[in-house]
Amino acid sequence: MRYGNGVAEIVVGVTSLADWKALHFGVETDPALIGDSADPDGDGIANLLEYAFGLEPLSPSRTGLPSMTVQPVVQMKP
């Protein structure tokens, strides 16, 4: 990344989906628990989204999800 005349190096660690599942579910193989669309903690967030946002799949929390705010736009015309 460049900023002005300087250069900054950004290193991002990425865990594969398989490694993430092994970390959170161990040797569990039941697709009802570890499937991409499964929601074992019942928080309404599928495992694949929990992985993508770095959330805990066995902790029913929505903290860490992206949020969006919509504000009205006012346009004035002559």
pTM: 0.70
Phi-psi region of 27 (alpha: psi -120 to 50; beta: other; left: phi over 0): alpha
- Tens digit of each residue's pLDDT (9 = 90 or more) over 9-45: 666 677 899 999 999 999 999 999 999 999 999 999 9
Encoded amino acid at 67, one letter: S
Q: Evaluate if residue 59 carries a pLDDT over 70.
A: yes
Give the pLDDT score at 71: 83
Q: Report yes or no: 48 and 64 within 8 Å, Cβ to Cβ.
A: no
Give the pLDDT score at 11: 63
Secondary structure (H, E, C), the chain: CEECCEECCCCCCCCCHHHHHHHHHCCCCCHHHHCCCCCCCCCCCCHHHHHHCCCCCCCCCCCCCCCCCCCCCCCCCC
**Residue 78 has which token pair?**
């002559």
**What average pLDDT score do residues 55-78 get?**
86
Give the pLDDT score at 72: 84
